[in-house]
Amino acid sequence: MSNDANNMGANKEESGSVVSCSGLYKTYHGLEVAVLNGIDLTVNAGEQVAIVGTSGSGKSTLLHLLGGLDAPSHGDVRVLNQDLAALSEAKKGNIRNHSLGFVYQFHHLLPEFTALENVAMPLLIRRMTRDQALTLAADTLAKVGLQHRLEHMSGELSGGERQRVALARALVTKPQCILADEPTGNLDRHTAHAVFDLLLEVNQSQQRSLVVVTHDLELAKKMQRQYRLVDGKLQSL
């Protein structure tokens, strides 16, 4: 009986939206034309969404808004049904650290730390013990094929290796939603597909939602829903 009740609770949570936005507009100071021009998007638990678009079409802007890294000019963004605009910076940071995994287009690793420490960082921020954090970080780096690069400083890694470290850093907290901005942009074809497949596997085995920006249509087609960002709006592909 109590098991049933627990399951129902879990299902209810799983069926809800993880990240959503409505009426989203973004105009940057100095640009005459809005980069985002009325975007409505709902990403439910476990869903895969791909976003493609030409360079400068606003893909990174959209992802940054969904992840609460920047604020929209109009419209709202909800993460786990919480309106980001209504949250303090501290609460937003907390939701980002606990519920979202962000893979930046330009990885943003900390240069003075090793690959292992970079991946352990979000766990240390959560006050996990250092030993536990380093063990989990090493496991996650092994998943992206970097078990032999744990002690390299991020400046000693190749571009593709850095991108995989950034991916491991986003996965290590087991976030409900992974927002990945060109996660395979610097990788050769074979590695790009392997990394992409890893993202899909995490999505499927652990019911993590996935929003991926990519310029690679072939990779985008592997995902359940695909959109093209054109003139600041999302078109279904």
Complex with Mg ion: residue 70 or 87, whichever CB lies closer: 70
As measured in angstroms, the least distance from the Cβ of 181 to Mg ion is: 6
For residue 184, the partner it binds in Mg ion, ligand ATP, none, with Cβ less than 5 to 8 A by kind, is none
As measured in angstroms, the least distance from the Cβ of 58 to ligand ATP is: 4
Complex with Mg ion: residue 5 or 31, whichever CB lies closer: 31
Q: Which residues pair with 51 in a beta bridge?
A: 213, 227
Complex with ligand ATP: residue 55 or 205, whichever CB lies closer: 55
3-state secondary structure 124-187: HHCCCCHHHHHHHHHHHHHHCCCCCCCCCEHHHCCHHHHHHHHHHHHHCCCCCEEEEECCCCCC
For residue 53, the partner it binds in ligand ATP, Mg ion, none, with Cβ less than 5 to 8 A by kind, is ligand ATP
- Span between the terminal Cα atoms of the chain, in Å: 44
Complex with Mg ion: residue 176 or 186, whichever CB lies closer: 186
Q: State yes or no: residue 226 binds Mg ion (CB under 5 A).
A: no
Interacting stretch for Mg ion, rule CB under 5 A, among 5-13, 25-33, 66-74, 100-108? 100-108
Q: State yes or no: residue 60 binds Mg ion (CB under 5 A).
A: yes
Complex with ligand ATP: residue 28 or 206, whichever CB lies closer: 28
d(CA 198, CA 126): 25
**b/e 138-167 (16+ beta carbons within 10 angstroms → b):** bebbebbebeebbebebeebeebbbbbbbb
Q: Which helix H or strand E contains 37, and what residues bound it?
A: strand 36-44
As measured in angstroms, the least distance from the Cβ of 179 to ligand ATP is: 13
For residue 58, the partner it binds in ligand ATP, Mg ion, none, with Cβ less than 5 to 8 A by kind, is ligand ATP
d(CA 155, CA 114): 9
Q: Which residues in this chain contact Mg ion in the complex, by CB under 5 A?
A: 60, 105
